[in-house]
Chains A and B, each alone.
Chain A
C-alpha cells in the first residue's frame, strides 16, 4: 500500500514540485530570516535565480552550530503566536538545538509519518506499541500523532519499564512495534525468559525502527528475535523528526519523501556534490516547512542515494541505511573507515558481542588500527585455539571487506569503557 500517489510520481513531476517549492522556501527565508538574508547576499544568490533542482547547489549550507548560535528561536520564520509545538535535541555539548512547528508543519509531519506507517504495512486495523521516548525528543510524539493520522490505535508506552511494556504488548495485542532497534532487541531478550516459544503470546507482525545507527546484523537479529518485518525509519529534529525516509519491504534502502525534502550527497571535506550512488554526507533542504525552514542542512550522516524506481511502485529516491558519521569517519592509511562497517563485520562473527572499540594510533609515520572486541559470555570457550580462530576470522573479514589491516584483541565481557550506558566506539590517539 502507498499512502500518497506523490510517492510514485514520475521523476519529472517530482523535480517540478521540488523546484517550485525550493524557490518558495528560498524566498521565504530570504524575506524573513536575517541569518539567511546575510548568507544569501554573501554568496550573491537571489531566490529568483532558482530555475532547476541543481540550483540548490548555489545556496549556503546550514550547520548544527547555526541553530545553536540562534538559540532558542532565532531561526524561526513565523511569530511565536503561530508556533504550536517545540522540540529540542539532547545537546550533550553546549546549548541544545531547538526546533518549532506551526499547524501546517504538523500536517506535513503527520503526512510523512502516515507514509512511513503505510510503508510498513500498518493501517487503521493495527495496534501500535510506541516505545520511542515521549518528551522533547521528536521520536515519541512523531510516531504518536502519525499513528493517529492513519487511524491506528496507539499505545504511548515511551521508554523504560521493560516488563510492563511486554505485559502491555501482550494484553493489548500490539501488532506494530515502534522503538529503537536496541530496545526492540532488549524487549525480545527479556520476553524470551518466558521460554523460547514466547512469540505465541504476542501478535506483532511488523516494526518501525530508527533513531540510532544500525548495522545489518542488528536489524536481522531484531527481525529474527521477534519474527517480524523490519522497517527502518530515518529522520532528525532539525529537518522534521522521524519521517524523512523509510524502507519498504522490497529493499534495505529508505525512500526519501522528496516532495517535502530535497536531498543531496556531498563530499564532507570539499562540500562538492557527488555523483548519484556515491557515498558522502547527506544534506537536506526542507521544501514545505514554514516555522523553521532549513536550507542545505549538513546532517553529518554518511549515505548514498539512488533514483531508480523501486519494485514497491514508489519512485522517490532511496538512501542507504546510514553507514557512519562524517565526524566519526576515520582515515587509516588513506582508507575511509566507518565504525558501522566494523560493527557489521563483528555482528557476523560468532562468539563475540557487539561491544567493540576502535583504537587508532601512530606507529612511526603509519597509522595502526586496533580493534577490541568483548567475548560473548554465552559462547565463551575454554579452548585457546577457538579464540584464536575468532580473532583471525575478524581480522580476515576486515581485510577482505574494508581493506584495512587491523590488530584484533579479544577482551573480557563488560570491560570496554562505557559512557552513560553507551560504549565509546572510537578512540583516536593520533589527535593527541
Chain B
C-alpha cells in the first residue's frame, strides 16, 4: 500500500523548543522532506516526513524526546482548478473523515498529504486511484 510514514513530535509551547528539536535533526544530518507545525494553545505538534523515520525516532528517543510514527498518504496535485475538491468529495462520498491535510512541494511536483483513520487508508487509496487521482509512493 502506498502509505507514507510521518513522524509527530509533541512540543511544549515555549521559546526555543522548536529550535532545539530542529538543531538535533540537523546534527543527525536529517533532511526534512515536509514539515507542518500545528499550534494548539500551550502545546504544538510538529509533523515531519523524513527519509528514515524509525532511525530518527530511535535517535530522538535516546535523547529523551518522544515521537510517534503515523501512517499518512499523499496524492499528486493535478495542475487544474478543483483538483482538491475532487479528492475531498471522493473521500466524503466514501464516508471517510480527513483528520488533517497539508500540502508539500518538492520543486517539481506538489502533493496533498492526507491523514485518515488507519483502517480507512486502503479504501481511500483505492477510491482515489479509481477516480484517476495519482497516489504517490513518496514525497
Contact = CB atoms under 8 A, between A and B. Distances in A.
Interface of A: 375, 377, 380-384, 387-388, 409-415
18 contacts: A375-B10, A380-B8, A380-B10, A380-B67, A380-B68, A381-B68, A382-B6, A383-B45, A383-B99, A384-B40, A387-B40, A388-B40, A388-B41, A409-B42, A412-B11, A412-B12, A412-B66, A414-B64
B65 A384 contact: no
Interface residues of B, number: 22
A85 B66 CA distance: 48
Interface of B: 6, 8, 10-12, 38, 40-45, 47, 64-68, 70, 99-100, 115
Contacts of A387: 10, 40, 43, 45
A377 B66 contact: yes
A370 to B, nearest CB: 10
Nearest to B67: A380
- 6 closest Cβ pairs, A-B complex: A382-B8, A384-B40, A377-B66, A380-B68, A413-B66, A382-B70
Contacts of A375: 10, 66
Main secondary structure of the interface of A (DSSP, over half): loop
Contacts of A382: 6, 8, 45, 47, 68, 70, 115
Q: Which of B6, B42, B44, B65 has the most CB of A within 10 A?
A: B42
A414 B43 CA distance: 15
Contacts of B43: 387, 409-411
Given A380-B67, A384-B45, 13 more contacts: A381-B8, A382-B8, A382-B115, A384-B38, A384-B40, A387-B45, A388-B41, A410-B10, A410-B42, A411-B12, A412-B65, A412-B66, A413-B64
A414 B67 CA distance: 13
A395 to B, nearest CB: 13
Nearest to B40: A384
A388 B44 CA distance: 11
A337 to B, nearest CB: 22
A414 B44 CA distance: 17
A411 B68 CA distance: 15
Contacts of A384: 38, 40, 44-45
B77 to A, nearest CB: 23
A423 to B, nearest CB: 15
A412 B10 contact: yes
A380 B99 CA distance: 16
Contacts of A413: 10, 64, 66
Nearest to B47: A382
A409 B11 CA distance: 12
Contacts of A412: 10-12, 65-66
B19 to A, nearest CB: 15
Contacts of B38: 384
A414 B45 CA distance: 17
Nearest to A415: B12
B100 A383 contact: yes
A402 to B, nearest CB: 22
Nearest to B13: A409
Given A411-B12, A412-B10, A412-B12, A380 B66 contact: yes
Most buried by A among B43, B44, B47, B100: B43
A409 B100 CA distance: 23
Contacts of B65: 412
B118 to A, nearest CB: 12
A410 B115 CA distance: 23
